[in-house]
Structure 1
């Protein structure tokens, strides 16, 4: 598995060295400050998207993507493009519906790289995690030799206003699992990973995937953690490992009251308080449909470096999970990445070091 996330080095440096790419804005939501994650001013989303995929191609053993399936996970698709036209022209008639759909990201990439075929997933914040799960299953039955998974979401007003209306946007950098946390930081991001049906030099394996749909509530997770526990246990079973073999957990860790409590309970139920845990959303924000892919990249990097990424703020924990405050060198054989979404959609992914014979 090869990976990229825009400017990968800069992104990973932020995560492993306790830096945050989040900023406070007072001109997005009326009469309210919100802390969110935005690309630098003047960026072109499509250009960054293509750059990320080129980065993976250049790091791979492929000359092109003509024999590669493309799977894209996104929460909003082309909604930002629609908004830009509507806000500029004040007229919905100038909107192109073909540029609004979830599939527009895959179509943009296919026009540039000519993939064998492409599909798109939209399951809110588990979109690209679900795409990775499908990719692993297709690789396992030799349906494809190469599958590129891309998670991508661009910030748009509809998203920001939507989370603001739920009262869960923080005006500060989020503090997952902290007892006095204020909420989440919505963000935009792109992550890309190439899965192949054979190991390559310095590759990492997607060993196990688990999913559940508890449908507890349209927005809130099940407080009993039933769905999260089910997804994690399925991922462990799929990887054919025991819970005590997981060395690091990249938590979904959004910083909201409901998510953090439910996820912490699931972690404690399955792993106790021994396994190291951190959330990268204090660094990068919640990138919605892209989060699964981006946080998978962080797990891949942790396994390659044998280094656990720290969490920015581990003070005043609400639950007794083992949050790590500094980057920690440790033997990590397996890492777990959690992704949870609206509607009770839950995905857990287990990554492992490839044992070269």
Structure 2
């Protein structure tokens, strides 16, 4: 394994899996249902669609941050508060100027802008609330962090690319710790955009099924604290691979060219072979083109030797937060020794897809390294490998 690992010192999320680690584990283990639900009111033509909604109340943001008071930032705060102690400890240890904030989003505070537009822009609304960079600025301001701060927005790979940026910054010695994360909130703009592409499903999505009809959109926040200093658990980011094949503005390269490159680069950086990977968390959107491309790409690199599943039927596609949510799911499988997330569909696997190996019920992790894929519009691809190192 690569000796330059980046260690994960804290992590937390809030999604349709649940708002606490206990609930998330229960949902991943099948003991509690995910909060996926059929709703109306989102689509302009009046049709219904399934969304992955966060349940429960979100924390309030104090008046000091009035131009950063958006649902997206409140959702982010619901995760950040769970790791506040570890973040404050890092600030005390390294100094506020030696910590970076690198986050990803695609919607930011757009939902607040939609509400404000309908109400003729009330006095408490400011356009800054829906700027893409607002999320990163809020996190830095909330913790009074003065190190490098920025927000990435590369569609569905946004919060995956933060790991690449964080790793480069840590290896360059510019900072000692990085808060990485992603957050996206349900909004009409996104839902109607995907509906216009005829990509939304009116049932819980069915990745890799011959009956798949499209995606479910979800909302979520997920954050981690990274450092090159060893932790007690050994949980680490082992490798990152990226590519930009730029095949099409919304459709993936049919042969998975960029996806293959991203997975191969992640393996190379981690100094692992395909036989060292115990599970692949697929991008698995349940669209016709993505699933066909991803199955072909995975088979090209791993053949049928590694169990694969998509967790999007449990969370929805959380867009800019998806990479971080699925990274955190992968880390929970590693640290909590959970069974691999079962591939959820209707049992009618698409026989025209490359014959990859899907997770079976009750299957456990055979090798202590997990690869997680995220493939975005414009051919912006990211593959992450997580594992447990000797400490």
Matches within 5 A, 1:58-207: 58-59=85-86, 62=89, 64=91, 66=96, 67-89=98-120, 96-117=126-147, 118-207=149-238
Deviation, structure 1 residue 157: 0.5
Encode CA deviations 1:22-41: one digit per residue, 9 max, x unaligned: 10012221231201112237
* 1-structure distance, mates of 2:20, 2:86: 12
* 1-structure distance, mates of 2:283, 2:369: 17
In the alignment, structure 2 segments of 5+ residues that lack a partner are 1-7, 60-70
TM-score (norm: length of structure 1): 0.94
Task: Note if contact 1:168-1:183 (Cα within 8 Å) is conserved in structure 2.
Answer: yes
Deviation, structure 1 residue 94: 8.2
Deviation, structure 1 residue 88: 2.1
Report how many aligned residue pairs link the two structures: 355
Q: Name 1:341's counterpart in structure 2.
A: 376
Deviation, structure 1 residue 63: 5.4
1:20 to 28, 34, 48: 34
TM-score (norm: length of structure 2): 0.86
* 1-structure distance, mates of 2:279, 2:122: 48
* 2-structure distance, mates of 1:107, 1:59: 19
Task: Note if contact 1:23-1:36 (Cα within 8 Å) is conserved in structure 2.
Answer: yes
In the alignment, structure 1 segments of 5+ residues that lack a partner are none
* 1-structure distance, mates of 2:309, 2:88: 32
SS at match of 1:211: strand
Q: Name 1:354's counterpart in structure 2.
A: 389
* 2-structure distance, mates of 1:304, 1:267: 25
* 1-structure distance, mates of 2:197, 2:56: 27
* 2-structure distance, mates of 1:63, 1:230: 35
Task: Note if contact 1:129-1:292 (Cα within 8 Å) is conserved in structure 2.
Answer: yes
Task: Note if contact 1:142-1:197 (Cα within 8 Å) is conserved in structure 2.
Answer: no
Bigger shift: residues 105-114 or 344-353: 105-114
* 1:314 to 1:62, Cα distance in 2 relative to 1, 3 A: farther
Deviation, structure 1 residue 309: 1.9
SS at match of 2:208: coil
Encode CA deviations 1:123-164: one digit per residue, 9 max, x unaligned: 000000001111122223332211010100011110000000
* 1-structure distance, mates of 2:308, 2:126: 44
Q: Name 2:302's counterpart in structure 1.
A: 271
Task: Note if contact 1:199-1:354 (Cα within 8 Å) is conserved in structure 2.
Answer: no
Bigger shift: residues 321-330 or 168-177: 321-330
Task: Note if contact 1:178-1:316 (Cα within 8 Å) is conserved in structure 2.
Answer: yes
Q: Name 1:312's counterpart in structure 2.
A: 344
* RMSD (Å) for aligned C-alpha atoms: 2.0
Bigger shift: residues 40-49 or 212-221: 40-49
* 2-structure distance, mates of 1:349, 1:313: 24
* 2-structure distance, mates of 1:206, 1:355: 13
Task: Note if contact 1:191-1:294 (Cα within 8 Å) is conserved in structure 2.
Answer: yes
Q: Name 1:4's counterpart in structure 2.
A: 12
* 2-structure distance, mates of 1:47, 1:349: 27
* 1:41 to 1:156, Cα distance in 2 relative to 1, 3 A: farther
Q: Name 2:82's counterpart in structure 1.
A: 55
* 1:337 to 1:263, Cα distance in 2 relative to 1, 3 A: same
The answer to whether structure 1 residue 209 and structure 2 residue 240 are counterparts is yes
Q: Name 1:330's counterpart in structure 2.
A: 365
